[in-house]
Amino acid sequence: MYVAAQMLGGILGAAALFAIASGKAGFSMTDGFGANGYAAHSPGGHSLMSCLMGEILLSFLFVFVFAGATAPSPTPPAAIAGGDSGGLPRGSPGAANDFSGP
């Protein structure tokens, strides 16, 4: 059941992404749809060093906030992340990492 749910979720997510992206004039599946990369393979033409620095900094932010938000006692990172306030402080860095990657 778990595998089927994961596969269904992946298919529905891909269909939603396709529906959103195909709304742009001139959309083509052969232009690197949903691809990551650097230099010529990056939508913004970012260099390898730029991509590496972005990945390192955003991953640090993700781990820092997640570790602080799940700490058993209110340590300084947990206070920054909101302590036991719920999923928003835990999910926001992950979303930032996904949406702002070069």
Say if residue 97 is in the same domain as residue 58. yes
pTM over 0.75: no
Rounded average pLDDT over 44-72: 79
pLDDT of residue 95: 72
Q: What is the domain count for the chain?
A: 2
Q: Residue 11: pLDDT band by 50, 70, 90 thresholds?
A: very high
Q: Are residues 49 and 83 located together in one domain of the fold? A: yes
Residue with tokens 């955003």: 58
92 CA to centre of own chain: 9
Mind listing the pLDDT tens digit for each residue in 77-101?
Answer: 555 555 555 566 667 766 776 666 5
Domain range holding 47?
37-102
Rounded-to-integer distance, Cα 10 and Cα 92, Å: 21
Tell me the average pLDDT of the chain. Answer: 74
Residue 43 clears pLDDT 80, i.e. is over it:
no
> Is the distance from CB of 80 to CB of 69 less than 8 angstroms?
no
Q: How many CB atoms lie within 10 A of CB 51?
A: 19
